[in-house]
Amino acid sequence: MTSVQFYHNADDPLALACELIGKAHRGGRRAVVVSPDASLAQRLDRQLWTSEPRGFIPHVMSGSPLARETPVIIGIEGETQWPHTDMLFNLATGLPAACERFRMVIEIVGRGEAELSSARARWVHYKQQQFPLKAFDAERRIAL
């Protein structure tokens, strides 16, 4: 069953995503990252190259021929075909398509009212699906 973790109150959702993706990669996990648009996907791509001074997080965009062999895939909201189903990081405001196929969904929520409102709706959806839910305060680094 899919478990879901919400990281609320993220000052910089992209930086938090890079940190959590790096941690997942070092732990041997495979991840898909869902971006709301191509612009943020490209920013994430660039940031993954520079986020860890001596680390390398192998990643490609979802359309790459290397996607099946690459541990981290970056895609755009609405895509449904992913080469792996271990972890899904959602940076978009909508419910990620086919999220029930993943072992874990990580929701990263900023501080804006629109982000909070859409996160609440996703929380309700996951709860209705009876997915195990956990919440964390991204700024204070504590479970809620």
What tens digit of pLDDT does each residue of 65-113 get?
Answer: 999 999 999 999 998 889 999 999 999 999 998 999 999 999 999 999 9
Q: Is residue 1 part of a domain?
A: no
Contact at 8 Å (CB) between 131 and 2?
yes
pTM for this prediction: 0.95
Task: Name the residue among 52, 59, 66, 1 with its Cα closest to residue 33.
Answer: 59
In a domain, 79, yes or no: yes
Assigned token pair, 96: 């990620």
- Residue 39 lies inside a defined structural domain of this protein: yes
Q: Is the pLDDT of residue 54 over 80?
A: no
Please give the distance of CA 87 from its chain centroid, rounded to a whole number: 8
Using a pLDDT cut of 70, give the percent of the chain over it.
Answer: 98
- According to the model, what pLDDT value does residue 30 have? 97
> How many domains is the chain partitioned into structurally?
1
DSSP at 96:
P
2 located within any domain: no
Range of the domain at 75: 7-143
* CATH number of the CATH domain containing 21: 3.40.50.10110
53 domain residue, yes or no: yes
Could you tell me which residue, 10 or 80, shows the higher pLDDT?
A: 10
Which of 2-6, 55-59, 125-129, 135-139 has the lowest average pLDDT? 55-59
Residue 122 lies in a domain: yes
User: Over 90: is that where the pLDDT of 55 sits?
Assistant: no
